[in-house]
Amino acid sequence: MCPMISETRPLIFVAGASGYIGGRLVPALEHARVPLRCLARDPDKLRSIVGPETEVVAGDVLDRGSLDQALRRVETAYYLVHLMSSSKDFENEDRRAATNFAAAAKAAGVARIVYLGGLGDDSDPHLSPHLRSRHEVGEILRDSGVETIEFRASAILGEGSLSYDMVKTLTERLPVMICPRWLSTPTQPIAVADVVSYLLKAKDLPKTGSRTYEIGGTDVVKYSDLIREYARQKGLHRVLIPVPVLSPWFSGLWLALVTPSRFEVGRHLVEGLKNPTVVRDRSSLNDFSIRPVGVSEAIRRAIAQANGRSG
């Protein structure tokens, strides 16, 4: 049985509550004691991991009809859905899901959508399908007419994130690495706790129209620097040997040696690593009081969490 939610207080909605970011945002929203509703294809499974006051409703972003009742009385809707891990045709499915959600949110009178996408230059003709799809989803949500707050982030550093786990697994399992060119791509990673802080604060922004915020930590680094920093903190000696070329397909096979269960997702992620993902618009520092940490601290926290310590 779902808990009763106040008819008078603004209702917060989360699509993607069982994902990596959603699984961290929901406890933060529960701690803030806001009336909260989460969407789930398997409600019983999600109910077992959320708080007793959180309402869980059945629905699927690929099923337009299931969203109408789910979004009733919602003021702010978090859209944290990415279908890259569940579909080989993720671009079309992400487009369809975002179109469904945008239309349902508009019809339900939702006041604001908060969406987490990816960094990358829209004018880059070689932008990867993964990043291009992330940007397209943001555009679809904005075009609905519902005010949309889009955050664009690079690699998210935290125990359990795909980007961090890739760095962690490669570093721990490969004492000598033949490094493809994309390991020299500049990136501006951000700690997962800082991402959650931005998402949490977004619900309270003044209503002044749709906005896109680029968010990142204090450091612009290369992916090889992440490997070196993780190795340093773990006391590991690693040798990195750069090579001039290594195709995304071959890099995906390389990743499969250490992350076989996530090969397909890893391959799509690698395709995006050829694109610089650096914050160019720093307006997030003006509109939010959040001051993200740097790479060393973000990795320290992730290691501490893995070791069962507070990070």
Q: What is the pLDDT of residue 91?
A: 87
In a domain, 267, yes or no: no
> Between 1 and 283, whose confidence is greater?
283
Bridge partners of 148, per DSSP, are 113
What is the β-pairing status of strands 221-222 and 186-187?
A: antiparallel
8 Å CB contact between 49 and 38: no
B/e letters for 82-100, b = 16+ CB within 10 Å, e = fewer, are bbbeeeeebbebbbbbbbb
* Residue 311 pLDDT > 80: no
Query: 137 lies in which domain range?
Result: 11-156+191-216+277-289
Which residue's structure tokens are 């006051």?
A: 53
- CATH number at 122 reads 3.40.50.720
Q: What is the pLDDT of residue 186?
A: 93
In a domain, 135, yes or no: yes
> Between 180 and 198, whose confidence is greater?
198
Per-residue model confidence as pLDDT tens digits over 60-115: 999 999 999 999 999 999 999 987 655 567 889 999 999 999 999 999 999 999 99
In a domain, 180, yes or no: no
- Predicted model pTM: 0.91
Q: Which of 41-45, 75-79, 271-275 has the lowest mean pLDDT?
A: 271-275
8 Å CB contact between 36 and 26: yes
In a domain, 201, yes or no: yes
Residues recorded for the chain:
311
In a domain, 20, yes or no: yes
In a domain, 299, yes or no: no
* Residue 128 pLDDT > 80: yes
Tally: H helices and E strands in the chain:
12, 13
In a domain, 183, yes or no: no
Q: What is the pLDDT of residue 1?
A: 45
Per-residue model confidence as pLDDT tens digits over 44-53: 999 999 999 9
**Distance between CA atoms of residues 161 and 166, nearest Å:** 8
Number of domains in the chain: 1
In a domain, 259, yes or no: no
* Residue 154 pLDDT > 80: yes
Which of 99, 218, 240 has the alpha carbon at shortest distance from 171?
Answer: 240
